[in-house]
Structure 1
């Protein structure tokens, strides 16, 4: 009996990359219809069957992915983004014959202990990490111990775009906040404020850069004026309300506000009665129900990228065999969802 056809064989017949073949098998909606049809014809002509070595994790032990179930946030708004990502990941994993094992942990060190326990017991083949941050000890442990993993989020504070030992998928928050700021500038005056998180949050700092880029490019305000239009607060509705009151008290009324979360955006609406246009981030059900604009993370695309890095040529490994040209990272472009905004609640 001859050797079974491989993904590379299919790619050669179809005249596409192995990445494209993987997308046709695991995320067909990402591939143009004519390309998808050509790949499917090649699969049929070769009699290729995506068996465990192509569809599952390279270790072929339990075909299980471990992921921490994050604690519920106090306001229940911002945490919904990870719930939606988990749902998308689980659905896609199931289509590929993979299971998702959820576990809890009290913090990074406790999560590392869970990595050790689940790895030693051969309960999982790889891990998906969320909520990455500067100096994240979890990724260092996984790299040092040669464990397969992919993070939803960049390795902030290391070599966050090119680290070859850290496979990651992230959403381009800078691009999202830049689009949001440009939108508010186009529909109103030049005084668009920014509500973000305290410095040191890689995700928050990245989103702030998008606001700053758009505001600087507009050329309508000085550096000192821009500094008066931003505030940093921990996430939460009351904090967003306090922050916009503080900004307007020191610099006067604003023409719009962009925020790093829908929680902060809801705080702005609470404090201003809806008189100030606001754009949040994450496009949570709260943004949809109240009718304010928000930046949507393309979570289905993120989940597809995570599974591709786990099951494709990299197999989730921090040190793949030989030189692999396929990109080790995915940066997903978010989408600005524009809504008319809630009705005025009354003067504040």
Structure 2
């Protein structure tokens, strides 16, 4: 069978020949049209249209250092429950970036140093115009490296431990976990609970500590429990279903009264519900598909709104440069 060769694509030389100009003039029309005389520019543009010429994307990227591409790390899945929130964020930001004629480039990294190496490689190759960082933490070296490199970036999550409201170099979008957990706790108290436990992560996690403060705010405002009783209701484990179950069992065995639980994640909420069943209200965080399938109440992050705010800060350089969005509790 005879193979028919594909038709040759038009080149800059073809456009220059048809328009009767030099290759440099064609390049100027493509990259700096204002410096070309209107009549000459018109001839070149007509030749481009007649030939169906399309500039090579890679060559244009190297010339302009613009790729219309945003880099985001694809985080490793820690478990099949709470890790779903970043998957949903990636879907939302990819769809909204496409509507803005931008692409999302996903990369992987084994840790902060490895991610910084990825930054350097992607910036050196002009593969991306900027980055969206996720999973921020205290003393995060990634943000300082990007600032020193003069790179554009926005974080989904505050730069914990810094002057995050006053520093214009740190553009960020976050969800107010403190307010979300406080609201869920207030609702449980209003429904008749008196001993609302908090099942969270060990101290040192920016997001986790923020959610714990919301729970303490709500309990403290009621003034019904003394500090020792509140401390006894404060449970901390790593994000694991078995560890969460064990923490609740241990508290009950120690005689701690628990008539409701608000959790830092849906993973922890599932662990608590395994022990408490349906008799004690349990509220998770992130409203993952698992929470929905099992009928667990959960604090929902507005991820579509987060994605829009992230892109607005990155692409439009809009003000204010920090966005703290409020979540809502989905009751089931």
Q: TM-score, normalised by structure 2?
A: 0.79
| SS at 2:106 equivalent | strand
Cα distance in 2 for residues equivalent to 1:290 and 1:62:
43
Specify the alignment match of 1:261 in structure 2: 265
2:298 corresponds to 1:294: yes
Give, in whole Å, the separation in 2 of the partners of 1:116 and 1:204: 30
Cα-Cα RMSD: 1.1
The 3-state SS of whatever aligns with 1:155 is coil
Secondary structure of the residue aligned to 1:226 is: helix
CA distance in 1, matches of 2:192, 2:100: 48
Q: Is the 8 A contact 1:171 1:297 kept in 2?
A: yes
Name the residue aligned to 1:330.
323
CA distance in 2, matches of 1:118, 1:337: 40
Within 5 A, what are the aligned runs for 1:26-65?
A: 61-65=66-70
User: Does structure 2 retain, via aligned residues, the 8 Å contact 1:188–1:256?
Assistant: no
CA–CA distance in structure 2, aligned partners of residues 244 and 184 of structure 1:
18
Distance 1:275 1:60 in 2: 60
2:143 & 2:302 partners in 1: Cα distance? 24
> Partners of 1:216 and 1:277 in 2: how far apart?
20
- Deviations for 1:52-72, whole angstroms, at most 9, x for unmatched residues? xxxxxxx87000000000001
Residues 127 and 149, structure 1, Cα contact 8 Å, conserved in 2: yes
Q: Where does structure 1 lack aligned partners over 5 or more consecutive residues?
A: 1-58, 315-325, 340-348
Pairing 1:67-106 to 2, within 5 Å after superposition: 67-73=72-78, 75-106=79-110
Does structure 1 retain, via aligned residues, the 8 Å contact 2:233–2:256?
no
Secondary structure class of the residue paired with 1:70: coil
How big is the shift at 1:159? 1.2
* SS of residue paired to 2:202: coil
Q: Which of 108, 113, 116 pairs up with 1:112?
A: 116
Asked if 1:270 is matched to 2:274, the reply is: yes
8 Å CA contact 2:69–2:130 kept in 1: the answer is yes
The answer for the alignment partner of 1:129 in structure 2 is: 133
3-state DSSP class of the match of 1:100?
strand
8 Å CA contact 1:194, 1:257 repeated in 2: yes
Structure 1 Cα separation of the partners of residues 118 and 294 of structure 2? 39
Query: In structure 2, what is the equivalent of residue 201 of structure 1?
Result: 205
- Find the aligned partners of 1:253 and 1:294 in 2 and give their Cα distance: 22
State which of 163, 168, 175 in structure 2 corresponds to 1:159: 163
Query: Residues 60 and 119 (structure 1 numbering): CA distance in 2 closer, same or farther, change over 3 Å?
Result: closer
Deviation at 1:132, TM superposition (A): 0.1
CA displacement, residues 39-86 of structure 1 (integer Å, 9 cap, x when unaligned): xxxxxxxxxxxxxxxxxxxx870000000000011x310100000000
Unaligned runs of at least 5 residues, structure 2: 1-63
| 1:293-317 CA distance string (max 9 Å, x none) | 1000000000000000011135xxx
Which residue does 2:247 correspond to in 1? 243
- Equivalent residue, structure 1, for 2:27: none
Helix, strand or coil: the match of 1:160? coil
Q: Is 1:67–1:127's contact at 8 Å kept on the other side of the alignment?
A: yes
Residues paired across the two proteins, number: 269
SS at match of 2:254: helix
2:127 aligns to what SS in structure 1?
Answer: coil
8 Å CA contact retained: 2:283, 2:299: yes
The answer as to whether partners of 1:294 and 1:337 remain within 8 angstroms in 2 is yes
Q: Could you tell me how far 1:239 is from its partner in structure 2?
A: 1.4
Report runs of 4+ in structure 1 exceeding 3 Å deviation: none
Q: State the Cα distance separating 1:245 from its structure 2 match.
A: 1.2
| d(CA) in 1 for partners of 2:288, 2:197 | 21
Give how far 1:275 is off: 2.0
